Amino acid sequence: DIAFLQETHRNALESQKLKRDWVGVVYISSFDGKSRGVAILIKKNIPFTEIKVLKGEEDCAIMLLLEIMSQKMLLVNIYAPVEGDPTFFHQLNSRLQQFNDIPIIMGGDFNEVLDLQLDRSIKAKPHVSGTNRAIHTLISDFNLVDVWRAVNPRIRDYTFSSHRHNSYSRIDLFLISRSLIGDIFVADIEIRTILDHAPISFTYSGILGLEKSRNWHLNVSRLRLPEVQSLVKEAISDFYKCNPKEDSDSRLLWDTLEAVLRGKLFSYATKHKKERLQKAIELEQEIKDKELALKYLKYEFNKLMSQKVEFALFRVRQSYFEAGEKASKLLAYHLRKLTTSNTIRLIKNDSNRQMVTNKDI
């Protein structure tokens, strides 16, 4: 129903390309059309009233104050600096002060983990950065909750894959007001397919039950499928067996046949949609299983390489202690040097002639 996008790489004009399919309204904050940029997309059939729109510096944040189903709510979409910047979150904290009594849904790429132990795949010595402290201050000041962690308190899962550091982390978050947490009944980290970030989602029951279109439209392209053509022919044949043309009004007959065909095609479309959804679920589960297996294989490979490096270092140290700078080696070196320095290479005879051969010398 509502989507938060980061790194849109679009200016205000190009943002209209996002207004397609299910999207009814687009709110975007773009820096230069080539970098940064965040956007909030709202579904067509959601009845809401826009109250106020605020954009952050360098277009790394956008705030939308709206009223939906008689409830005021502040939507905040952010893209925090990659290198970490506590000032960004301090400024965000200051700007949010004017909405102190309004429920907040804040999401985006924070470029920082909340839990230094659970939200990283690499176990390292915890170091609380200034950015981490600034985020926790923001959470404390506005009584926010990490919605995914609230639903999954001890699970390790990640939203970002760093190929450079060969690690995973959970830096994409949804922080919501504690007053809204009772209406949350599911929160998921979705499948990461093309990008290095995985989308995250949650369902807030406070805006469920919105009116949806019940109009069914025939997908004309399905009529090209041989199985659909056979279905339609069989339905028409069975219909006329039970309803002879000569015994019925032609208009009534056509309207009845149309209803029968609509029912047959609707049933086929529903069955086909369920099969596709089931296939998609199975593929998503397979991808999750293989991603988990890949993480384990990478861990085992890194462990094996670490053991190999440790053994190589051990051999280097052993070789040094066994055949390093011993006294015998040092003495032999000095003897060779002394022999070389005592060698006579040239002399002069009584007639002042230079003698260079060993025989003459």
Alpha-carbon span 136 to 71, nearest angstrom: 27
Determine whether the annotation assigns residue 109 to a binding site. Answer: yes
Domain ranges of the chain: 2-207, 220-297, 325-361
Nearest by Cα to 350 from 336, 360, 340, 335:
360
Res 77: pLDDT = 94
Angle at 7 between CA 4 and CA 8, to 5 degrees: 75
Determine whether the annotation assigns residue 334 to a binding site. Answer: no
Alpha-carbon span 66 to 73, nearest angstrom: 6
User: What does DSSP assign to residue 270?
Assistant: H
Q: CA 105 from chain center: how many Å? A: 19
**Following CA atoms 346, 348, 354, 359 in sequence, which dihedral angle do they give, to the nearest 10 degrees?**
-60
Greatest CA separation for the chain = 149
Res 342: pLDDT = 65
CATH class of segment(s) 2-207: alpha beta
Determine whether the annotation assigns residue 275 to a binding site. Answer: no
Res 324: pLDDT = 52
Residue 234, token pair as written in the block: 């069989």
pLDDT in tens, the chain (361 residues): 889 988 877 776 676 777 777 888 888 887 555 557 888 999 888 888 999 999 877 668 999 999 987 889 999 999 998 888 899 999 999 999 998 889 999 999 999 999 888 888 877 677 889 999 999 999 999 999 998 888 888 888 888 888 777 788 899 999 999 888 776 667 888 877 667 788 888 887 665 444 444 455 677 788 888 888 888 888 888 877 777 766 666 777 777 777 778 778 878 888 888 888 888 888 878 887 887 787 778 777 877 887 887 777 777 665 555 555 555 565 666 667 676 666 666 777 777 777 767 777 6
- DSSP of 132-200: HHHHHHHHHHTTEEEHHHHHSSS----SEEETTTTEEE--EEEEEEGGGGGGEEEEEE----SSSB--E
Residues classed as catalytic: 79, 109, 197
Determine whether the annotation assigns residue 7 to a binding site. Answer: yes
Stated as kind and residue range, the H or E segment containing 340 is helix 327-342
Phi, psi of 173 (to 5 degrees): -135, 160
Alpha-carbon span 128 to 110, nearest angstrom: 15
Res 209: pLDDT = 41
